[in-house]
Amino acid sequence: MPVAGGGSNPDDSLLYEINGLAKSAPHWVDRAMEFIGEYGIIVGLAVLMLCAWWSVRRSDDAPAGTAALLWAPVAAGLALLVNIPIRGFVRRPRPFLDHQGLEVLVKGKTDFSFVSDHSTLAMALGVGLFVAHRKYGLIGIGLALLEGFSRVYLGVHYPTDVIGGFALGTAVTLLLAPLAMMLLTPLTRRIAGTRAGRLVRSAGAPVAVVPAAGSGEDADGGAALTGPGRPRHHDRDLAA
């Protein structure tokens, strides 16, 4: 489904407006955006994953938080696989093939445009992070939005390619999260009881246990905690 024309619809108009910023920007800004859009944001999301992992290891139910973090890159990979038949079906050419006057900062893109792999990957990781840890997840989603902007700025995607990538990454991550957690949480709980347990739970992390009847539940019927006791904080992350 080739998309022709030049600025006659909102998608084209927004493409020219955002990509037009590259023409007036200093050379070093364009080079920085090229690095950020191609590699930098993905590296930043990986660093966020490590920070979130370090945090959830100290939470009340560290295995559940670790399972959610494991799901994030798996979900991103699945979303990219789902995108393969979508691209083959839509067959949308890159915008610089149908539109004149674009500032193309990344050369050599010959595959189809819809949907954006970079946007799909970044948003799947960001949403997966949000499932595991709210604070780092919000930062991750912000980075994903910047990734989408950069793809249009670089002249390699339409805005709707980016929006489609955001939708695909979010849908795969959230729709399959319950099944993923059901499969991954028992695995991380098992690992927590082995010599590799420090990968799942830090040494001083409290452990959530379900008390027997009459064994001292709190007033809300919540589980007692072993280890350094402190109340749960559900607004912090999934595992807390």
Token couple for 41: 């944001």
In total, how many domains does the chain have? 1
Quick check: 51 pLDDT over 60? yes
Tell me, yes or no, whether 28 lies in a domain. yes
Tell me, yes or no, whether 230 lies in a domain. no
Which 3 state secondary structure label does DSSP give 187?
Answer: helix
Tell me, yes or no, whether 194 lies in a domain. no
Confidence of residue 230 (pLDDT cuts 50, 70, 90): very low
**Dmax over Cα atoms in the chain, in whole Å?**
74
Quick check: 131 pLDDT over 60? yes
Tell me, yes or no, whether 30 lies in a domain. yes
Quick check: 57 pLDDT over 90? no
Quick check: 31 pLDDT over 90? yes
Confidence of residue 208 (pLDDT cuts 50, 70, 90): low
Confidence of residue 7 (pLDDT cuts 50, 70, 90): very low
Instruction: Tell me what pLDDT residue 202 has.
Output: 72
Quick check: 35 pLDDT over 90? yes
Tell me, yes or no, whether 234 lies in a domain. no
Tell me, yes or no, whether 133 lies in a domain. yes
Tell me, yes or no, whether 45 lies in a domain. yes
Tell me which of 153 and 235 has the higher pLDDT: 153
Tell me, yes or no, whether 166 lies in a domain. yes
Domain housing 79: 12-180
